[in-house]
A = this chain, B = another copy of it.
Amino acid sequence: MSTTIDATQQTTALTEDQADVLVRERAAESRNASRVLAGLTRQQKDDALVAVGETLVAHAETIIEANAEDLRRGEANGTSPQLLDRLMLDTARIEGLRSALRELAGLPDPIGEVVRGSTLPNGLRLRQTRVPLGVVGAIYEARPNVTVDIAGIGLKSGNAVLLRGGSAAASTNAVLVELIRTTLVANGVPAGAVQTVDDGGRPAAAAMMRAVGSIDLLVPRGGHGLIQDVVRNSRVPVVQTGEGNVHVYLHQDAPVERAMQIVHNAKVHRPSVCNAAETLLIHADAATAGAAAMTALAESDVVLHTDERAAALVPQLETVPATEEDWATEYGALEIAVRVVDSLDQALEHIRTYSTGHTEAIVTDSIAAQRQFVAGVDSAAVMINASTRFTDGGQLGLGAEVGISTQKMHARGPMGLAELTTTQWVVEGDGHVRA
């Protein structure tokens, strides 16, 4: 339990070298644990997941106490009410964590799946099997539920996790990690399976990004600043998740009712998440559908940042003139940028310029337009006549979700358990040699 010291009591910051040593030592422990994890049966992993959920509920009071410390510190530091709400854990949310862990236990084990297999003409028997990555690092912000989430997903996929949570949730995270580790050990899983480097502060986060060979994959979870910091500075492979400057394009034939419903759902259903729409592009000939969509948004108190032609479609509504910055903004709130375009090509050009590669949607019945849109958009997901809100592991049937990858390799789009694994070739012969 040596790693779960009180992370709120950071004294002087570690030097770069000290942080490197700290991270390499912890990662070595993670590596040792990962060798045990790779060999656990599904039953062993599922039992441990269920047990962790029970422990959290049984110790809800302790967690809530620690969480209260974080909340007090946050209030004293002038943290916004929204962030305080994301930081907050109560009995209901802790029970939610237990449910999530139970659901995870119910999912199939990705490890051991045979992805490809064949017998070669020379008789060699090939199989490519799914194996854990090994040591997965996570750097994330305020929300303490991410601690439980990543620990659970890591365990189910056979990976050891090394966590660096935000200092705002330090007290809560320290207690959560301690409870998780104790429960794992009681269930025959090594404590090294879940470790934190929170006691190393920011220098430890930077050291994680340098830990090539010690950490196999780094997953940043949080806002734009955090993700960009990790993507730009990490030498360890990163899966970039969750940035969504998402577009909905209404083609010239977009049916009015369908356009209105999709745009409204994409923006208003849950404005703070990464698959929510941020820009509406309206073909000049889809004025009626565009106006209807904008009116529906305004009725749900969405602020419309419009170019002049979009504003002219809804003279009865109050709109804000859009600036260049608006096209690149992920509002994450009840705001949307709206632009009128003269063609599908112009829409695609706009999307290529401003998209973060997450999700784009088109509303049209034209097969030609659908095909051109799919081919012209370089994003993880394309929605045809459907809300952008469907880019989601749960919605697409993947079960647990690690995040939505906007990266172009490994995993792209919603990442389930399988996306936290890699593969190994096993080749069986009978003394085969190459001629």
Contact = CB atoms under 8 A, between A and B. Distances in A.
Given A233-B235, A408-B422, A433 B261 contact: yes
A408 B216 contact: yes
Contacts of A35: 376, 378
A325 interface: no
Interface string A263-303: 01110010000000000000000000000000000000000
B235 A232 contact: yes
Interface in A376-435: 376, 378-387, 389-391, 395-397, 407-410, 412-414, 422-434
Interface residues of A, number: 70
A222 interface: no
A423 B412 contact: yes
A368 interface: no
A218 to B, nearest CB: 11
A426 B381 CA distance: 6
A366 B384 CA distance: 54
B425 A391 contact: yes
A374 interface: yes
A179 to B, nearest CB: 30
A212 interface: yes
Contacts of A382: 424-427
A133 B409 CA distance: 7
Given A235-B231, A409-B410, A433 B217 contact: no
A108 interface: no
A434 B231 contact: no
A212 B408 CA distance: 12
Interface string A100-111: 000000000000
Interface string A230-260: 0111110111000000000000000101100
A21 interface: no
A397 B434 contact: no
A224 to B, nearest CB: 14
Contacts of A235: 231-235
A393 to B, nearest CB: 11
20 contacts: A38-B375, A133-B408, A134-B408, A212-B232, A239-B409, A255-B431, A257-B431, A258-B431, A265-B434, A370-B428, A380-B424, A381-B427, A382-B425, A385-B428, A385-B430, A386-B428, A386-B431, A386-B432, A387-B434, A412-B423
Interface of A: 35, 38-39, 118, 120, 124, 126, 128, 133-134, 212, 216-217, 231-235, 237-239, 255, 257-258, 261-262, 264-266, 269, 370, 374-376, 378-387, 389-391, 395-397, 407-410, 412-414, 422-434
Given A262-B433, A410-B410, A412-B423, 9 more contacts: A235-B235, A269-B434, A380-B425, A381-B424, A381-B427, A382-B427, A386-B427, A391-B427, A413-B423
